[in-house]
């Protein structure tokens, strides 16, 4: 069986939220604790990436490390802490507390089947507009567009190679794509929301409570 490692990225400052949202509580646990629990249910080890100066006081993990100034730098800090024998690496944002172990398994199994990366995504339902200030300058054709979530799984060597150049992107799949890796889409989960605002936290709490 191939060895899987998870990196839970919890190093954000929470500028839009007003505080590091990953430490906010929903349904009796912090967002980061929900994320770690889902990852630990499937992966052989979990590395948590925290803001500089923060100490990990959650469930036992393989390692807890300080992140960098950007998301990509935080992921690279996590990559440096995972075991050398990891075959597949799953990267997950702590701000997505509703990701299920089943979603982790889906992206991991897709990489095992031959992809360099697997990302969950949902079709875009809203009409998309390109704007300049408050003026609409274009309507974007939403055909072939999807909204992407985490967890995202990658062949370990593909993810390491993608980060070797020190590049930056809003997700790791973009870096793997840029190096020629084969990234495929799997069905995302509509409940797997990303907590960005206080209203998102309220909704996440409501959705988590039945669990």
CB atoms inside a 10 Å sphere around CB 137: 9
Cβ atoms 6, 151 nearer than 8 A: yes
> Which residues pair with residue 160 across a beta bridge?
none
The verdict on residue 79 lying in a domain is yes
Cβ atoms 184, 110 nearer than 8 A: yes
> What is the DSSP code (8-state) at residue 23?
G
Which single residue is written with the structure tokens 């100034």?
69
Split into its structural domains, the chain has a count of 1
| CA 64 from centroid of its chain's CA atoms | 16
- E-state strands within the chain: 4-9, 25-26, 29-30, 45-50, 63-66, 88-93, 117-123, 128-132, 135-140, 146-148, 152-155, 183-187
> Which residues pair with residue 183 across a beta bridge?
117
Q: What is the sign of the dihedral through the CA atoms of 63, 13, 59 and 8?
A: negative
Quote the pLDDT of residue 209.
85
The verdict on residue 127 lying in a domain is no
- Give the Cα separation of 48 and 46 in Å (integer): 7
pLDDT tens profile 12-56: 876 677 778 999 999 999 999 999 999 999 999 999 999 999 999
The CATH number covering residue 12 comes to 3.90.550.10
How large is the angle between the packed helices 198-208 and 31-40, nearest 10 degrees? 50
Q: Which structural domain range is residue 69 located in?
A: 4-116+148-183+192-208
CB atoms inside a 10 Å sphere around CB 85: 10
- Give the Cα separation of 181 and 145 in Å (integer): 19
- Give the Cα separation of 182 and 176 in Å (integer): 8
The verdict on residue 102 lying in a domain is yes
The verdict on residue 34 lying in a domain is yes
The verdict on residue 125 lying in a domain is no
The verdict on residue 122 lying in a domain is no
- Return the structure tokens found at 154: 């990658």
Q: What is the mean pLDDT of residues 43-72?
A: 96
The verdict on residue 136 lying in a domain is no
Quote the pLDDT of residue 173.
97
pLDDT tens profile 143-188: 899 999 999 999 999 999 999 988 999 899 999 999 999 999 999 9
Higher pLDDT, 91 or 15: 91
- Give the Cα separation of 147 and 141 in Å (integer): 14
The verdict on residue 142 lying in a domain is no
Model pTM score: 0.95
Taking alpha carbons only, the member of 152, 170, 36, 42 closest to residue 89 is: 152
């Amino acid at each position: 069986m191939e060895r899987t490692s998870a990196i839970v990225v919890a190093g954000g400052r929470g500028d839009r939220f007003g505080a590091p949202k990953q430490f906010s509580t929903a349904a009796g646990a912090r967002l980061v604790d929900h994320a770690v629990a889902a990852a630990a249910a499937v992966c052989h080890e979990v590395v948590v990436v925290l803001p500089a100066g923060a100490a990990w006081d959650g469930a036992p993990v393989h390692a807890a490390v300080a992140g960098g100034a950007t998301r990509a730098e935080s992921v690279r800090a996590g990559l440096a802490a995972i075991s050398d024998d990891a075959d597949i690496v799953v990267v997950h944002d702590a701000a997505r507390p509703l990701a299920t172990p089943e979603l982790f398994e889906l992206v991991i199994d897709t990489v095992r089947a031959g992809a360099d990366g697997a990302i969950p995504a949902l079709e875009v339902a809203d009409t998309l507009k390109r704007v300049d200030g408050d003026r609409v300058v274009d309507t974007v054709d939403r055909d072939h567009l999807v909204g992407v979530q985490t967890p995202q799984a990658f062949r370990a060597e593909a993810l390491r190679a993608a980060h070797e150049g020190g590049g930056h992107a809003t997700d790791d799949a973009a870096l793997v794509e840029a190096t020629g890796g084969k990234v495929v889409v799997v069905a995302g989960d509509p409940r797997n929301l990303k907590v960005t605002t206080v209203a998102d936290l309220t909704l996440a709490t409501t959705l988590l409570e039945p669990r």
